[in-house]
Every structure is written in structure tokens, then in C-alpha cells.
Structure 1
């Protein structure tokens, strides 16, 4: 029986300072995780959001939710550039919460989750070497998807009922959501809303809806890209 595959994509914020080293987990906090499980052509997807402030117990809770969701379904984990980012930071947070005595089992559970990890970034670099920009080791995800003929959904700000001037105050002038927007502004603003009990407000509800749409947006493309790269490798 095909147990399927898992897909995982984390969204982070940097509430203390602008990151200077993307391998330094101290520069990041976990905000949300897009998750997917694919069996055959059926895909189940969800987003797990941080339910509290930046305290380590909330990191542990979110991490546990991710691990338990994946354990209930099973299968190898597929990411894009996960070895350098998603897996790297999830392992570091697991050590942090264990060292704090909040969830001692976290490192072993996260180790098991990534035991059969497939990083599509490495496969995409082999399949599309011409798409790798100078001073980079892998193509950007959007570029790999473009090369494979896979559509990525775009989350447009105009589709959400945010107050006039809201994006301007956050320093955002693009028409659609980018990962940098989440890392530099939206993720932190979302957590501030949770901490301050703003769940009932339209602005927080719309921001939450936007983050969920963005976090889950790459899950189906990850499965499609995995399928495409496997076919490409089989044809060589």
C-alpha cells in the first residue's frame, strides 16, 4: 500500500533584528508551517499557525503540531531547499525546546520525520542547471516550477480586506505576497495580533486568511515538481 508523501514549507519572522546569516536559527522565529500529504492524486493540505508569542513554549507547541500531523499520515518529507532552511531550523528549534525541558522528545521526533527527506532543490539544480543564478547552488523555486511547467498560485493583496494604508505602514508596495513580506513584517504583525487578542477583528482575520493562503500555496506545486523531477531522472 502506498503510504504517500509529505510536503513541508515553513514561514518565519525575525522580530529581533534583520537576519545576517540564514543558517543562524537565533535570527528566526517559527510563525507557520504549510503541510501536505499526497497519496496517488489525492492531496490533503493544512497550515499550522503559531498560537502565542515568541516564548519557547509556543515554539514547542507549533513544532509538536507539525510532527504529530506528519506522523499520523506517514511517508517521506519533500521540501525545497529544506536541508539548508526548513529542516535545518526545525532541528535547531527541536534542540532548543528539549534543552529548555519543554519537550525532551523533540529532537528524536524531528530526526525521524526527516529520515527520508527529499530536497527538491538539489534535484532541480541537476535537472535545470541553466536556471541556477550566479553565486547560487539551486534555482529559485518559482524558476524550477517555471522550467517544469508547473503553476504556482499568487496571493494578491487586493483579494483581502485590509485597512487603507495598512501595507504602506508595513513598508510593502508589491501587489502580491512575497516570502520577504512574511519574514520582515506580516509574520510579526500576525503574532502581535494573537498576543493582543485581536482574533475577533476583521484585520487580523484577513491577515490570518492571507498567511494561510500563502503558506499552503507551495504545497501542491512541491508534489507536482517532485513528480516532474522523478520523470526527468527516469528519462535520463
Structure 2
């Protein structure tokens, strides 16, 4: 009887060791949604000559992170400025945006990202190479604007001292605002030896709301960009 019991114990110990190893060896399913956000909607990919843009904005819809748009702003020259242009481009402010496609005006901003994911999900990619081919055919908007030639955007930039990035600890007993299924925005802006970042919902008066209004101020100034699309950029 003791031999049988010992055999059961030994088998249990072996199974206990093998099961975690088997779980570790199981490959993770390819997450095309996360990879879409990383490859196509990462502002750090918009200007390959410089990984950290002067300003970066990314708008994701709902708790599912439906990608709506992402914007990067570059101060100064870009790789496209050659020859004589190189002498006069130092003060330029160039914005580039990728935006999920939608015919007409979407009922809510997140509908853009929902439609993009639904389109890709019709033939779910299982690798980055397959996803890149899907993104090439997805009709993503890839746009560029010269901010200094866009009066509405310049006027909005002039209010850039208004956003308050720091949080103040609530010293009252009031309950915080409860926001369900909110769209979220990340906004980062930098100057010499300084960098400020906001990430959260589009709370009125927040830096995120200011950044979303900045995106709206550029609407009439966008033109198709001739730069390489971000999902095809090989990061240095």
C-alpha cells in the first residue's frame, strides 16, 4: 500500500513540475490590436530622424483602446529638408498625424478605431508582417501640416501656458468623479531639459482636452504626407 501511495506522490510531484513548464512554453496569441497601436499610432515613429517629438498626442477610444488618432510635432528641420531648404527650416513646426479612416463624420470619435479593428479582424493577422500588409490596405489617413502657416493652430498654441499638469491631492471628503468607458488621451510636450505628460480621460480643462482642441485646430491645414508611413518605419 505504501508503495502505491509513494508512486502517486511521485507522479503528482512530476506533474506539478511539468505543468508550469508547459504553461511557459505555450506561445501567446498574437495581439493585433496592441501591435496596431504600437506600430501605427506611436508618435515616436512619425519623425524617424528624432525619436522624441516636441509634442505627442494619442487618442484612444473606450476601455478597449480603439485607436482614433496620433499626432507628433517636430520643431526644426526634417529629413525632407535638403539643400537650400536646410538653411531656413530651423524655426519650422511640422505636425504629422495618423488617423483611423471613416467615411463622413463618425457618431463618436471612437467609431474610427472600432471600424479599423473590425476591418483588420476580418482576416486576423498572426504576425507583424501580416499586420503591416493589413495596415497598408486599411486606408489610414497619413497627414502633415506646417503649423506656422496655420493661424488657428498658432492661436491655440498661444494658450499653451494654460494647462495645469500637476494633480492636487483632494483634501475634502468629496467623492471623485466617476467616469465609465471614457475615451483617453495621452499628451506629452517638452522644452529644453523639461518634459510634461498627461494621460487620462478628456476632462474639461485638462491638458488632454487642450491637446484634443489643438488637434481640431489643425483640421483645415492637413495635407497628405509624403513621408514614410509610421508602421513601415524601421526604428533606429
Give the TM-score taking structure 2 as reference length. 0.30
Task: Identify the structure with the greater helix proportion.
Answer: 1
The structure that has the greater radius of gyration is 2
Task: Identify the structure with the greater strand proportion.
Answer: 2
Give the TM-score taking structure 1 as reference length. 0.30
